A and B are shown apart, each in its own frame.
Chain A
Amino acid sequence: MSDLDCNEFVELVTTFLDGALDDETERRFLDHLSACDACDTYLDQMRQTTQTLGTLPPESLPDDARDKLLDAFRDWNR
Chain B
Amino acid sequence: MEPEARIGSTDFPPDEVLVARLRDGDEAAFVLLVDTWSGGMGRLARSFVATNESAAEVVQDTWLAVIRGIDSFEGRASLKTWIYRILVNTAKRRGVREGRTVPMSSLLPTDEDYGPTVDPARFLEAGHEWAGHWREFPAAWPSPESAAVSGEIHAQVADAVAALPDRQRIVITLRDVEGYTSDEVREILDISAANQRVLLHRARASVRARLETYFASVDAEHVGGEAVP
Identify 10 residue pairs between A and B in the complex whose beta-carbon atoms are under 8 Å apart, listed by A's number.
A7-B116, A7-B118, A10-B117, A15-B201, A18-B197, A49-B204, A53-B207, A61-B56, A70-B30, A74-B27
Q: How far is the CA of A53 from the CA of B177 in the complex (A)?
A: 5
Q: Which of B21-72 contact A (CB under 8 A)?
A: 25, 27, 30-31, 34-35, 38-40, 42-43, 56, 59-60, 63-64, 67-68
Mark each residue of chain A from 55 to 73: 1 if its CB lies under 8 Å from any CB of chain B, else 0. 1111111100110111011
Closest B residue to A78 by beta carbon equals B25
**B residues less than 8 Å from A6 (CB atoms):** 123, 132-134
Are A52 and B153 touching (Cβ within 8 A)?
yes
- Known A14-B201, A18-B197; judge A69-B34 contact (CB<8 A): yes
A47 interface residue per 8 A CB criterion = yes
Q: How far is the CA of A75 from the CA of B25 in the complex (A)?
A: 10
Q: How far is the CA of A60 from the CA of B157 in the complex (A)?
A: 19
Are A60 and B38 touching (Cβ within 8 A)?
yes
Other contacts beyond A37-B137, A65-B59: 20, CB < 8 A: A6-B133, A14-B200, A14-B204, A20-B194, A42-B118, A45-B208, A46-B204, A50-B176, A52-B149, A54-B4, A57-B154, A58-B39, A59-B43, A61-B38, A61-B39, A61-B59, A65-B56, A65-B60, A74-B25, A76-B67
Are A49 and B161 touching (Cβ within 8 A)?
no
Mark each residue of chain B from 147 to 189: 1 if its CB lies under 8 Å from any CB of chain A, else 0. 0010001100110010000000000100011010010000000
Q: How far is the CA of A59 from the CA of B195 in the complex (A)?
A: 29
Mark each residue of chain A from 8 to 22: 1 if its CB lies under 8 Å from any CB of chain B, else 0. 101101110110100
Are B154 and A55 touching (Cβ within 8 A)?
yes
B224 interface residue per 8 A CB criterion = no
Q: How far is the CA of A17 from the CA of B19 in the complex (A)?
A: 33
Are B123 and A7 touching (Cβ within 8 A)?
yes
Q: How far is the CA of A55 from the CA of B7 in the complex (A)?
A: 9
B228 interface residue per 8 A CB criterion = no
**B residues less than 8 Å from A8 (CB atoms):** 132
Are B39 and A59 touching (Cβ within 8 A)?
yes
Are A51 and B60 touching (Cβ within 8 A)?
no
